[in-house]
Structure 1
Amino acid sequence: MEFDEITLKFKQIFQPKIVDEVMAVAAQQKRFVYYTSADTAIKIIRNQELWFRNASVMNDYSEILYGLNLIVAVFNGPEGARFREAVDDIFPDTIKQADELLSGWRHDWQFETYIACVSVHDPKEDKRGRLSMWRAYGDTALVVNNTPMIAITDLLAVFSIPVLYLSEEGLTEHLSQITNAILINRRYLLGLGQQTLVAYIHDMLFRFAIATKHPGFEEEKEWRLYYRPTERTSPSMTAETVVMGNVPQLVYKLRLADEPENGLHGADIPSLIDRIIIGPTQFPYVTYKAFVGVLEGLGVEGAAEKVVVSDIPLRVG
């Protein structure tokens, strides 16, 4: 993975923790994992599509509110004042313009963001999965290769971002790091012009809002894939109204395919699936055979070796 010079500079200044995590995933060839129910996993593989749901109907909605509230708390504090002073020293009223932009987009961020969530997979979990994730999300784990996640392209209009696990103190420290970078790079930012600086701050705040969670969830090691059709549409997304949990809702379905011309790299099922881990379940053999059959039906080589049964015992009662 290689960012162009301008993008890398922006991320180093305004998203230092994020760029470090993205580069680590690429350098270490980390894989990702999607914990879900067996029913959903079968549908993802057989239909070759991943659903993105509106954040307002998911647990992630409260997490977006958490991020927005954290922004308000920290940016109204002493470190926020230092940040504002550093920015306005480059161009007066830049913060005012960024605040006005944020006010106009806050509602849209909350209600027009569609997301799917995955976690960074630890090789030590290849044979068992992660117990806390089994308990929270389901009995099946789809372990996938990282190629689609680290491909640098905006053709798809679907983006991935690692979650930051920050308390108010953590975001304050993180903002201090950003402010220091702004002060060091003042001349560079001055050369970009005020509107670019406003856009950079807006993008930074957006990512804080949609990808910041309480530190208590840190073991999840989550990344978020997000799609914002009010900003840009994707050639690989299909919209459909469905009923889930008795709630009629619009979902967007991402076609899982290898279509570099649309920004999809190595996202077809045979290339994407590294392994499927069957979690603690009452019928492991039957479930194993079912997933092997579905993979074989899609032409996946070595399907029997790609499906493993977790060695964590099922706890009954």
Structure 2
Amino acid sequence: MHHMLWAGSVGERLRRLIEKINPGGAARLWSLLTGVSRNRYAGTYITSLTEHGQKASESTLGRLSMWRACGGDTNACLVIDPVVIRDEKRDDGLFIGPVLYKDPNGFIRYFSNIIDLMNEHIDIVRNIDIVERLYSLFTHFSVISKHPGFHEEKEWRVYTGKYLSPNREIPLPVTPVSVGGVPQKIAQIKFEHLKDMQGQPLNADKIIERVIIGPSPYGIVLKEAIEAAMVTASFGNPGDRVINSNIPLRR
């Protein structure tokens, strides 16, 4: 998207703003944005969540489109307490936020409003490294932007990456695993990395409100297995927190 933005009138406005603050900065920013390395892609880690509805249908059945798009015969939905995504002031290189559903033209209009705000507060903007800040901003947008056709997913993303972290380091331990038969590296978020609004450490029992087992011919077996795992992990009232979706989905 930044290629289209840069080439048009909004890009011209952005270049004028940068040059007003940092002569030569526009060319340096463009060099950073186009000098994409493999690490920028392979070194970015994302977990996708969906904003769960409070209606009785979704709270007990889950969302049909999610079962269809992401489901299998042994899938489950973990309903988590939003306390883990409320902290918008993290400074450890781990970011949490909603997906931006924009097509290229919609994104350009959206970014034009950002330029308006920057011009409005030019005295503040002069005191920051404008090139580094804009590079970081475009990098974030590359991670959280998605085609508007997917808007009903109401997706949030938990993400990190070398080019998103303040010290250019991944703030989480990285380990190789096999996911769906594909060997790959994942960044692990451990519970001690997460804290509640009072700064107290969270654990699985506090984070996971309940589990909805997706439409499956093995629903009874899955329910028993998940409840047993929750007992082992010292969850409170696991029998009340694991439910089967009874959507009669046929694949």
**Aligned with residue 159 of structure 2, among 223, 226, 230:** 226
Secondary structure at 1:299 match in 2: coil
Show the counterpart of 1:75: 6
Show the counterpart of 1:180: 116
Relative to the length of structure 2, the TM-score reads 0.85
CA contact (8 A) 2:205 2:235 kept: yes
CA separation in 1, counterparts of 2:222 and 2:130?
53
Change (3 A) 1:127 1:296: same
CA contact (8 A) 2:84 2:194 kept: no
**Aligned with residue 238 of structure 1, among 173, 178, 187:** 173
CA separation in 1, counterparts of 2:201 and 2:98?
20
CA separation in 2, counterparts of 1:209 and 1:259?
25
CA contact (8 A) 2:28 2:131 kept: yes
CA contact (8 A) 2:39 2:162 kept: no
Show the counterpart of 1:204: 137
Task: Answer with 106-115 or 162-171: which moved more.
Answer: 106-115
Task: Answer with 292-301 or 223-232: which moved more.
Answer: 223-232
Consecutive unaligned residues in structure 1, runs of 5 or more: 1-69
Deviations 1:91-136 (A, max 9, x none): 3222122122323455432221122211111112111111111011
- 1:15-30 equivalent positions in 2, closer than 5 A: none
Q: Does residue 282 of structure 1 match 2:217?
A: yes
Q: Does residue 169 of structure 1 match 2:105?
A: yes
Secondary structure at 1:89 match in 2: helix
Letter in 1 for 2:6: F
Change (3 A) 1:176 1:239: closer
Show the counterpart of 2:70: 137
CA separation in 2, counterparts of 1:244 and 1:100?
35
Show the counterpart of 1:153: 90
Change (3 A) 1:71 1:252: same
CA contact (8 A) 1:114 1:252 kept: yes
Deviations 1:126-181 (A, max 9, x none): 111111110111231001112222233334x3222321111122112101111111
CA contact (8 A) 1:160 1:223 kept: yes
Q: Does residue 123 of structure 1 match 2:54?
A: yes
CA contact (8 A) 2:102 2:147 kept: yes
**Aligned with residue 99 of structure 1, among 18, 30, 39:** 30
CA contact (8 A) 2:95 2:160 kept: yes
CA separation in 2, counterparts of 1:168 and 1:215?
10
Deviations 1:20-79 (A, max 9, x none): xxxxxxxxxxxxxxxxxxxxxxxxxxxxxxxxxxxxxxxxxxxxxxxxxx2211221122
**Aligned with residue 214 of structure 1, among 147, 156, 159:** 147
CA separation in 1, counterparts of 2:47 and 2:22?
37
Secondary structure at 1:123 match in 2: coil
Change (3 A) 1:73 1:229: closer
CA separation in 2, counterparts of 1:253 and 1:113?
13
Letter in 1 for 2:232: G
CA separation in 2, counterparts of 1:240 and 1:169?
38
Letter in 1 for 2:151: E
Change (3 A) 1:266 1:206: same
Name the structure with the higher helix share: 1
Show the counterpart of 1:298: 233
Q: Please tell me the root mean square deviation across aligned C-alpha atoms, in Å.
A: 2.3
CA contact (8 A) 1:258 1:268 kept: no
Show the counterpart of 1:33: none
